[in-house]
């Protein structure tokens, strides 16, 4: 039965009374613009939290990890594997803008695994003196673990005297001896093997190529090639300034042996190892160091030994002859490590101006 006008009036009156008992009239409805702004702010906050504590995204800008990682690869990097590192400075997210003060001490939420040999890690480059989390990001492969003795012998890395082999996509320089002076390495066949770099050598029948072991084996099978062997760099005065520690007789291909510091490890300081450990103690352990005659001093006190406060790692690039790594600037402190690179989520080939579809979602080896 249709309601009368008086029934409708009574219903409105009762509704008004209920609203009054609940606290009065409802507030004004939010505008569409305000709703959008709130949604955007909420999304930004969530992204900042996720990328600060769980994972981050990075792009490969240089060929130092070829051919495992190519220029233009975009990487998914887990921060939870080793434990998220808490921020050390305050700044604008996703920019280089930050406050010089305050700086917070290093702290890390526990992860579910430790750093292992052969891990591809992203870290802040130890070289500059900027706040740690504002330094440039690098990616390299872990070769030496805390407390181990590392070395390179004719390009082959060793950890505690055990040789570490090259995987199929690591590459370095090879010396190719041709069968005759008129012989040449055809560019088309080299490109088929993924070889883009060749270097002339003084000999008329010798050339150096940057290649994987598999590619070098293929070149060695060509009838106009007499021999293929690793190209070993000899001593050079520039290495005494460029390699770590400065003044050593190391070369990029024959390096060390050198023992990595570890948390709680006590070392006797000597004339031989002072140049190795003094920069670590001063720059990464925050101590004041000096040497007077035969006396070592730390924080103004004479010492004969030192106990390290954190772990350090030795890292190398997979493109062994085109990588500045621990051979050049020393160890990676634990507080500089950001996370573990897991897979390639996108890859862009700038030369072909198109994506490398075959590399998308490929795990990093």
CA 156 – CA 40 distance, rounded (Å): 51
pLDDT for 16: 62
- Per-residue pLDDT of 320-329, as tens digits, reads 999 999 999 9
Q: How far is CA 225 from CA 205, 222, 248, in A?
A: 9, 6, 37
Angle at 306 between CA 302 and CA 307, to 5 degrees: 145
pLDDT for 132: 95
Helix (H, G, I), strand (E, B) or coil at 314: strand
Q: How far is CA 137 from CA 61, 147, 312, in A?
A: 11, 25, 17
CA 363 – CA 345 distance, rounded (Å): 9
Q: How far is CA 109 from CA 52, 218, 262, in A?
A: 12, 48, 20
Query: With contact defined as beta carbons under 8 Å apart, do 193 and 215 qualify?
Result: yes
The torsion region of residue 323 among left (phi > 0), alpha (psi -120 to 50) and beta comes to beta
CA 124 – CA 323 distance, rounded (Å): 16
Angle at 158 between CA 234 and CA 259, to 5 degrees: 95
What domains lie within the chain, and their CATH numbers?
A: 56-148+260-265+308-363 (2.10.109.10), 171-230 (3.30.70)
pLDDT for 13: 65
Query: With contact defined as beta carbons under 8 Å apart, do 178 and 205 qualify?
Result: yes
Task: Specify the pairing of strand 337-349 against strand 73-78.
Answer: antiparallel
Angle at 144 between CA 143 and CA 150, to 5 degrees: 105
pLDDT for 26: 52
Diameter of the chain measured on Cα atoms:
113
Residue 37 tokens read as 């702004």
pLDDT for 145: 98
Q: Is 266 exposed, middle or buried (0-12, 13-18, 19+ CB in 10 A)?
A: exposed
Could you tell me which of 348, 363, 350, 365 has the C-alpha nearest to residue 74? 348
pLDDT for 204: 83
Parts of the chain with a pLDDT under 50: 1
Residue 189 has φ and ψ, to the nearest 5°, of: -70, -35
pLDDT for 111: 96
- Per-residue pLDDT of 157-215, as tens digits, reads 999 999 998 888 999 999 999 998 888 899 999 999 999 888 889 888 999 999 999 99
For residues 263, 337, 126, 58, the Cα torsion angle rounded to the nearest 10 degrees is: 170
Q: Give the chain's end-to-end CA distance (angstroms, integer).
A: 77
């Amino acid at each position: 039965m249709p309601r009368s006008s008086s029934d409708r009036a009574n219903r409105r009156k009762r509704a008004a009374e209920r609203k009054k008992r609940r606290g009065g009239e409802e507030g004004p409805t939010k505008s569409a613009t305000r709703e959008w702004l709130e949604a955007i702010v909420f999304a930004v906050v969530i992204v900042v939290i996720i990328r600060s504590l769980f994972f981050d995204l990075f792009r490969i800008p240089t060929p130092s990890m070829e051919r495992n990682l190519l220029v233009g690869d975009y990487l998914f990097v887990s921060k939870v594997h080793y434990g998220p590192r808490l921020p050390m400075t305050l700044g604008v997210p996703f920019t280089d803008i930050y406050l010089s003060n305050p700086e917070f001490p290093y702290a890390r939420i526990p992860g579910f695994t430790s750093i292992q040999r052969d891990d591809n890690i992203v870290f802040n480059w130890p070289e500059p003196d900027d706040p740690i989390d504002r330094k440039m990001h690098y990616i390299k492969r872990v070769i030496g673990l805390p407390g181990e003795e590392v070395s390179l012998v004719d390009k082959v890395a060793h950890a505690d005297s055990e040789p570490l082999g090259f995987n199929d996509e690591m590459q370095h320089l090879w010396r190719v001896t041709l069968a005759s002076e008129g012989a040449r390495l055809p560019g088309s066949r080299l490109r088929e093997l993924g070889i883009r770099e060749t270097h002339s050598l003084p000999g008329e029948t010798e050339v150096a190529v940057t290649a994987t072991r598999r590619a070098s084996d293929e070149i060695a099978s060509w009838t106009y090639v007499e021999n293929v062997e690793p190209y070993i760099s000899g001593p050079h005065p520039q290495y005494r300034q460029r390699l770590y520690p400065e003044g050593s007789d190391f070369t990029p291909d024959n390096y060390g042996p050198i023992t990595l510091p570890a948390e709680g490890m006590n070392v006797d300081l000597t004339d031989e190892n002072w140049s190795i450990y003094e920069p670590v103690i001063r720059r990464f352990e925050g101590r004041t160091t000096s040497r007077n005659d035969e006396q070592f001093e730390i924080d103004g006190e004479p010492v004969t030994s030192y106990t390290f406060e954190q772990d350090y790692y030795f890292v190398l690039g997979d493109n062994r002859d085109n990588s500045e790594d621990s051979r050049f600037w020393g160890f990676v402190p634990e507080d500089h490590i950001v996370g573990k690179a897991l897979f390639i989520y996108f890859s862009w080939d700038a030369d072909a101006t198109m994506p490398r579809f075959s590399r998308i979602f490929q795990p990093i080896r």
